[in-house]
C-alpha cells in the first residue's frame, strides 16, 4: 500500500492511498473489454447490417482508410474522453473506484489527461504494458511514465470514510444560513476547506485558520463576517451544505 501526500492550494498536506497495480490492471481489462465490445457492435451494424463494405470497396485506398479510422476513433480516444468528462475516471476506473488526481493538489486538466493519453503509446502499447508495470512498481508515487510527465497519479476511493472526512455537515431542521454567497464554491472547494479546517483545528494552527478565512472571504466575496475564524469557517461549511444538499426549497 503506497500512501500519497498531496499538497493542496491551501498549503495543507492530504494523504491518499495510491491504487494498487491489481486495481489498475483490472480497470484496464474492463476498459479493454468495453472497447472490444464497441468494435464488435460497430462491425456488426456497419458491415453486416448496412453492408457498408460494398460502398467502401468502390473507393480509393485513402477514402477507405479515412472511413475505417473514423469508425474506430472512439476506441483510440477512449481514455482521454472518459477521463476528461468523468473527472479522472474511465468506466473501468469508476467500477474499480479509482481515479486520476494531480499530485500538487490542483484538479487535473484536459492537458494533463492528454499527456497521460499520449504516453499510453509507450506505457501500455509497447512491450504489452510491461513498461507501465515496471514504472508503477518502482515509482514512489505509483506512477507510470504518463503520470510522471503529467504530474498525476491514480488513487483509490475505497478508503473508509465517515462524515468527518466529507463535505457533509449535520444540520438541524431549524438551521438558518448566514452567507448565501457560499454557492460560489464547488464541492472540491468545500472538501479542501473542510480538510484544511479539521487539520488546523486539531493542531491549533491559528495561522492556517486565518489564511483559510482570508481565502474564503476573497473567493466567496463576503464583506462582513461574525465570530472567530473557527466559527466563521464552520458556518461557511454548514451554509454550503444547506444550499447544496437539499436542505431548503427554492
Domain boundaries, the chain: 3-156, 164-244
Q: Report H helices in 44-155.
A: 52-56, 61-76, 78-85, 91-96, 110-118, 120-123, 130-138, 145-150
The pLDDT of residue 161 is 40
SS3 call for 245: coil
* Whether the Cβ atoms of residue 146 and residue 88 lie closer than 8 Å to each other: no
**What length is written for the chain?**
250
**Helix 78-85 vs helix 110-118: angle between axes, to the nearest 10 degrees?**
160
Copy the grid coordinates of residue 184: 460560489
pTM above the 0.85 mark?
A: no
- Most confidently modeled of 25-39, 61-75, 97-111, 120-134? 25-39
Q: Is residue 214 predicted with pLDDT exceeding 80?
A: yes
Residue 175: which region, alpha, beta or left (left: phi > 0; alpha: psi -120 to 50)? beta
**Residues 133-182: pLDDT tens digits?**
999 989 888 899 999 999 999 988 875 443 344 455 566 677 888 888 88
Give dist(CA 45, CA 150) in Å, integer. 38
Amino acid at each position: 500500500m503506497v500512501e500519497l501526500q498531496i499538497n493542496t492550494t491551501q498549503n495543507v498536506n492530504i494523504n491518499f492511498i495510491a491504487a494498487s497495480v491489481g486495481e489498475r490492471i483490472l480497470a484496464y481489462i474492463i476498459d479493454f473489454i468495453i472497447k472490444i465490445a464497441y468494435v464488435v457492435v460497430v462491425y456488426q451494424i456497419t458491415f453486416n447490417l448496412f453492408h457498408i463494405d460494398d460502398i467502401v470497396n468502390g473507393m480509393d485506398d485513402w477514402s477507405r482508410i479515412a472511413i475505417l479510422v473514423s469508425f474506430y476513433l472512439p476506441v483510440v480516444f477512449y481514455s482521454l474522453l472518459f477521463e476528461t468528462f468523468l473527472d479522472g475516471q474511465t468506466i473501468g476506473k469508476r467500477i474499480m473506484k479509482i481515479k486520476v488526481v494531480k499530485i500538487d493538489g490542483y484538479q487535473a486538466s484536459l492537458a494533463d489527461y492528454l499527456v497521460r493519453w499520449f504516453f499510453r503509446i509507450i506505457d501500455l502499447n509497447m512491450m504489452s504494458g510491461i513498461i507501465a508495470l515496471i514504472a508503477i512498481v518502482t515509482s514512489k508515487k505509483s506512477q507510470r511514465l504518463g503520470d510522471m510527465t503529467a504530474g498525476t497519479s491514480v488513487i483509490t476511493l475505497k478508503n473508509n470514510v465517515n462524515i468527518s472526512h466529507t463535505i457533509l455537515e449535520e444540520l438541524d431542521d431549524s438551521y438558518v444560513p448566514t452567507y448565501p454567497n457560499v454557492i460560489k464554491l464547488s464541492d472540491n472547494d468545500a472538501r479542501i476547506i473542510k480538510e484544511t479546517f479539521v487539520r488546523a483545528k486539531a493542531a491549533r494552527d491559528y495561522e492556517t485558520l486565518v489564511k483559510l478565512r482570508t481565502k474564503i472571504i476573497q473567493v466567496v466575496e463576503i464583506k462582513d463576517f461574525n465570530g472567530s475564524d473557527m466559527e466563521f469557517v464552520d458556518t461557511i461549511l454548514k451554509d454550503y451544505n444547506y444550499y447544496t444538499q437539499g436542505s431548503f426549497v427554492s
